[in-house]
Amino acid sequence: MTAAADERRYLEDFAVGQRFAPDGEHTMQLDEMKRYAREFDPQVIHTDETGARDELYGQVIASGWMTLGVTTRLMVLARIVGSTPLVGVSINNLRFLEPVNAGDVLSVEAEVLEVRRSNSKPERGYVVMRVVTRRRNDGRAVLTQDWTLLMPRRND
């Protein structure tokens, strides 16, 4: 379930247990992985095919930070919060579970864990979602995290 691009979503639109499985996906490309890593995570396991052969995974793997960025992109494009900006307050329980390789096709899913009003600002509240990034090639989770999103409340 995703909201239409022109539809704002509010705190009251979310309920604990609500699940989202957007259709979007991203195929990891070796050149894209190496380019990202050269700029933001310059380690041999992310940048050099020859050097990576002698390391833990035996090949170039994507930077976990790139995987996190791809996850964010997929969540934003899914429009789970409609046209309301996706404003993050925190990320908790971030786990990099499996290496991501060139050719892996990533997708995301999310489940609402908590919905609560702000104690200090009655016009807003928080939605906590467990976000899971999966490799569609084999269905395995490669990244999990809990996002706390800032959401406006409806003016009743």
Strands 105-117, 124-135: pairing is antiparallel
Number of domains in the chain: 1
Question: Within a domain: residue 41?
Answer: yes
Question: Within a domain: residue 1?
Answer: no
> Which amino acid is residue 74, in one-letter code?
L
* Paired residues of 110 in beta bridges: 20, 131
User: In which band, very low, low, confident or very high, does the pLDDT at 155 lie, cut at 50, 70 and 90?
Assistant: confident
CB 91 within 8 A of CB 145: yes
Express each pLDDT in 102-120 by its tens digit: 999 999 999 999 999 999 9
Two tokens, residue 76 = 């934003």
Question: Within a domain: residue 62?
Answer: yes
HSE value, Cβ hemisphere, 13 Å, CA-based, for 118 = 15
What's the confidence (pLDDT) of residue 1? Answer: 46
> pTM value?
0.92
Question: Within a domain: residue 39?
Answer: yes
Question: Within a domain: residue 3?
Answer: no
Express each pLDDT in 2-57 by its tens digit: 455 569 999 999 999 999 999 999 999 999 999 999 999 999 999 999 999 999 99
Question: Within a domain: residue 142?
Answer: yes
Question: Within a domain: residue 70?
Answer: yes
Looking at residue 48, which CATH number applies to its domain?
3.10.129.10
Quote the domain boundaries for residue 71: 11-152
CB 134 within 8 A of CB 71: no
What's the confidence (pLDDT) of residue 2? Answer: 47
